[in-house]
Amino acid sequence: MSDITVIGLGAMGTALTEAFLDKGHVVTVWNRSPAKAQALAAKGAIVAASVEDAVRASPVIVVCLLVYDTVHEALAPVWEALSGRTLVNLTNGTPEQARAMSQWAVTHGANYVDGGIMAVPPMIGGQHALILYSGSRQGFDMHSEQLGALGTSKYLGEDAGMAPLHDIALLAGMYGLFGGVMQALALTGSAGIPAGEFVPLLMSWLQAMQGGLPKWAEQIDAGDHTSDVASNLGMQAEAYVNLIDASKAAGISTELMLPMQGLMKRGVAAGKANADLTSLVELLRSQNRSIETA
Ligand code: FVH
């Protein structure tokens, strides 16, 4: 028996395996393309000949494949081997996919823990690598020491959907930020300003704006978007027009910027001109436009 099995040796699965090995764990690995296991074997990993052998090798199976469908594809034929083991699925997915997989695993006698990796491969094993977990408390507690090799663990409760929900919400924040950063760099770049010159200014601006988020949380939790408003939506919607116009004038695509403008306009039309930008969160909740227009 080994301590841990890792199924999936892409960029992330490889980093996970290395972190387990670094902490002295005995690790069995399996990957669809066997060549990716060679470097890990040289570092001490045991290479299983089949998925079934990999599952049977350890009490805890860490899976990190591309998407949930590939997890099903890989594990469905070997369901009998999962009984009595803990399945930790670190593949990116939706809360619904995680809950369905939890049900499937539990039906086959396994503890199921879902995970969201908030880190890129080089961060794995360091304290800044945050790994979110949810699902079986028993499964998480039994293996929390081994999982601690990957970074900082945060357990979010028995509902397997909680880790992917938090994961996706954090990624939504990240992609929103990155979208704005791309627009900013395209704009300044069009005027010949090197990114290296502008980025320090951008970073300190974003840091300053981030300081306002606790107030956002207070307003959203209280459902009060009209007290103590410093920058009302009506004013921001007018200023936002300049952002679109300046981009167009510079020959920069507005495709990343237009959805936010659409939401602002909807907020103003809904009578929220004097409210804070936070009122738009309620608008997103109450009317799912992407579903309506899909
Ligand atoms: N890398 C990152 O920055 C992010 C950080 C946050 C978490 N994500 C998620 O982690 C999952 C794996 O990502 P990855 O970076 O390891 O991805 P790849 O390097 O592309 O490796 C993909 C592995 O999946 C295997 N695979 C794909 N299709 C199948 C299949 N049909 N059957 C069996 N295995 C399959 C692939 O095998 P192979 O191509 O080497 O044979 C790799 O092992 C992912 O959910 C991220 O969103 C990473």
Residue-wise pLDDT for 211-245, tens only, equals 999 999 999 999 999 999 999 999 999 999 999 99
State in Å: Cα 144 to ligand 1 middle: 23
2 CB neighbour count, 10 Å cutoff: 19
State in Å: Cα 185 to ligand 1 middle: 30
Q: Ligand 1 pocket, 101 CB below 6 A?
A: no
State in Å: Cα 31 to ligand 1 middle: 10
Give me the mean pLDDT over the 278-282 stretch: 96
Give me the mean pLDDT over the 4-26 stretch: 98
Token reading at 58: 């350890």
Lowest mean pLDDT among 104-113, 132-141, 169-178, 285-294: 285-294
| Selection from 283, 288, 279, 284 nearest residue 216 by Cα | 279
pLDDT bin (cut points 50, 70, 90) of residue 286 is confident
Q: What structural domains and CATH numbers belong to the chain?
A: 3-159 (3.40.50.720), 194-287 (1.10.1040.10)
What integer pLDDT is reported at residue 189 of this predicted model? 98
Give the ligand 1 atom nearest the CA of 92: 45
Residue 87's contacts (CB-CB under 8 Å, 6 or more residues apart) are: 61, 63, 75, 105, 110, 111, 112, 113, 139
Residue nearest (by alpha carbon) to ligand 1 atom 47: 92
pLDDT bin (cut points 50, 70, 90) of residue 287 is low
Q: Ligand 1 pocket, 117 CB below 6 A?
A: yes
| CB burial string 104-127: b at 16+ within 10 A, e below | bbeebebbbbbbbbbbebebbbee
| Selection from 243, 237, 246 nearest residue 273 by Cα | 237
CA distance 204 to 185: 15
Residue nearest (by alpha carbon) to ligand 1 atom 30: 70
CA distance 149 to 18: 10
Give me the mean pLDDT over the 180-199 stretch: 98
Does pLDDT of 290 surpass 90? no
What integer pLDDT is reported at residue 121 of this predicted model? 98
Residue-wise pLDDT for 30-85, tens only, equals 999 999 999 999 999 999 999 999 999 999 999 999 999 999 999 999 999 999 99
